[in-house]
Amino acid sequence: MITHRQLTYGNLLFKYRGILPVPVIILSIILFYYSDSQQISLQQFIFSLAVSISGLVVRVVSVGYAFNKTSGKNTKKQIADNLNTTGIYSLLRNPLYLANYLNWLGVILLFSDILITIIITLYFTYIYYYIILVEENFLRDKFKSEYENYFNETPRIFPSIKNWKPPKHKFNFIKSLINIKNGLLGISIIFYLIYIIDTYKYSGDFLKINWLSYLLLFSSLFYLSIKLILKIYKK
């Protein structure tokens, strides 16, 4: 049973969940700049980016097969007209939070610092624990025994392959693209920013053009295109 304190705290974290990782990542970048770590290799950039992109893939699959009118990017209150229990939601109850953690884990791994990785993992565990408690309370109140059965059968965050159930409806590719535009741009900006800092720190060069520059260009154009299409569509 969730307490009033947990409910209040969880609702506050839910409201600002999109920006909660930002201060920690900024602090990590500052610590990295002043540390004695070695220059980040191409292999590190590729591996770390792959981890972050895997988070976007999880998000694409989660959003694409989810019912409409669920919380998603909403920050004001919990929303759920239907309970997602099939597809990736049959493997774990909170795939979007796993996706978010993978997004940021890729960034953290760039620093090759075990202590920073552990600290930020604990930070994510702490904030998502309260957010998930609030969401579970909302879904339990709304869907009663249906959610209780789902809760008992499906793990919270670590996937269980044996639970797999095919999605109930078709994949919504457009909704997925709209949903990841911010994440893709954010990851591209952060990776390129770290590359600039890393290059300047070890060679004194600034704003060198490389493959991360093209990734940033692509993600920027993708973001602007989606925004423009949505603006035209709303008219």
Is 22 inside a domain boundary? no
pLDDT digits (tens, 9 = 90+) for 1-53: 788 899 898 889 988 888 888 888 888 888 888 888 788 999 999 999 999 99
Residue 30 forms part of a structural domain: no
Query: For the chain, how many structural domains are there in total?
Result: 1
Give, in order, the Cα–Cα distances in Å from 5 to each of 11, 75, 77, 158: 10, 19, 17, 26
In a domain, 21, yes or no: no
For the segment 142-151, what is each residue's pLDDT rounded down to a tens digit?
999 999 999 9
Does residue 61 form part of some domain? yes
| pTM of the complete model | 0.89
Does 100 fall in a domain? Answer: yes
What is the spatial distance between Cα 31 and Cα 166, in angstroms, rounded to a whole number? 45
Domain holding 146, by residue range, is 4-15+38-234
How far is residue 207 from each of residues 34, 87, 155, measured CA to CA in Å? Answer: 20, 43, 45
Most confident of the following: 79-83, 120-124, 222-226: 222-226
Contact 79, 70 (CB under 8 A): yes
Asked if residue 43 lies in contact with residue 94, where contact means CB atoms within 8 angstroms, the answer is: no
The answer to whether 150 and 84 are in contact (CB under 8 A) is no
- Residue 90 within any structural domain of the chain: yes
- Residue 29 belongs to some domain of the structure: no
The length of the chain is 235
Note the pLDDT tens digit of each residue in 53-100: 999 999 999 999 988 767 555 656 677 888 999 999 999 999 999 999
**For residue 75, what pLDDT is reported?**
59
Average pLDDT of the chain is 89
